[in-house]
Amino acid sequence: MLEARFSGRQTALATPVSAEVVRPGTPEHLEALRFQQERFALVSRQDAGVVSREDTEPTFVAATDYAPTRTVPIVVRRRVAAPDARGQLLAAARVELPGATVIERMIRLRPGTAAEQALRAGKVAEIGGFATPTHLDRATLLDVIDAIVAVVVQVAEEHDIDWLWFFPRKGFISVMRAEIPGVLPPYRLSYCADWLGWDEGSPQLQRFRALKLRGVPTQPQIFQIARGDFATDLAARQTLLPRRAARAGALERLLIPAMWQAQRDINQEIASAHGRGEARGKASRTAVNPDFPQPGRVRSEQ
């Protein structure tokens, strides 16, 4: 089984933020875990009105971050001038290497498909646990995403990972795929339809469901991008950073319609993917997912 390597990966793009890999068990990692737990408690219906409950089980971290030796934690901080000072924590995320992904523990893949073969070959990692402060402005959010992607690409190269997967909550993929012409190229994440349904016998799935997180799709949704495409898209965004910085004050206004359009495109992509595969997979999906959304009725994440 692939073990995580921690070689001090760090990136500081031409933005006010920087991202780095932190070692499990360090104060920086424990701070990130607390931050993730508190942030996801805000979108959990498990304990309405409670931001953090150390005595509540299962917690988000316990339910999703269960293989620390095969997980690479990432933190993003605001950059500061003092060399020994630590800036404000702006985000936490993780790269889940083969054997540690939430997707493989909770979702059944169709045997023989490209996704199933890539997972079996150990060429897939998942990006999970993405958390930011509740009122982070969108200009900084874009900087945070780019910083994380830069580290993810480095980690994927180091561990010989070809594909990055996402099992997102509501709205995340629309931010990633949002395009503002001349200012913000999109990340070309595509919908993966190679799934059969939830793995109803998975204890991990039951713990995850017990969290009652808002924004989780009724049916599995997997998005993917090749490592090379991730790097190419990041480079395109970095080329336009001066324009993005010049329009920082307008990003709040420009990004929202771009996200709406991205979500419409995503919905159409999902409907089209299942429309093409309907004859092949209808019976198996219906058996596992009796309320599987039909083409044209895919639930929006917006």
Per-residue model confidence as pLDDT tens digits over 75-106: 999 988 776 678 899 999 999 999 999 999 99
Quick one: pLDDT at residue 295? Answer: 29
In this structure, are residues 172 and 221 in contact, taking their beta carbons and an 8 Å threshold? no
Beta bridge partners, 95, equal 72, 127
Q: Looking at residue 263, what is its pLDDT? A: 94
Task: pLDDT band for 280, please (50, 70, 90 cuts).
Answer: very low
What's the confidence (pLDDT) of residue 276?
A: 58
User: Could you give all domains of the chain from N- to C-terminal order, each with its CATH number?
Assistant: 10-287 (3.40.630.30)
For the chain, how big is the Rg over CA atoms in Å?
19
Question: Higher-confidence residue: 185 or 41?
Answer: 185
Residue 7 binned pLDDT confidence (cut-offs 50, 70, 90): low
Share of the chain above pLDDT 90, in %: 60
CA distance 190 to 199: 22
Q: For residue 51, how many other CB atoms are within 10 A of its CB?
A: 11
Q: Which of 72, 221, 232, 223 is nearest to 156 (CA)?
A: 72
pTM of the model: 0.84
CA dihedral (251, 257, 260, 266) in degrees, to 10, reads: -80
Q: In whole angstroms, give the CA distance from residue 126 to residue 38.
A: 22
Q: Is the pLDDT of residue 30 over 50?
A: yes
Whether 282 shows a pLDDT value over 60: the answer reads no
Confidence of residue 302 (pLDDT cuts 50, 70, 90): very low
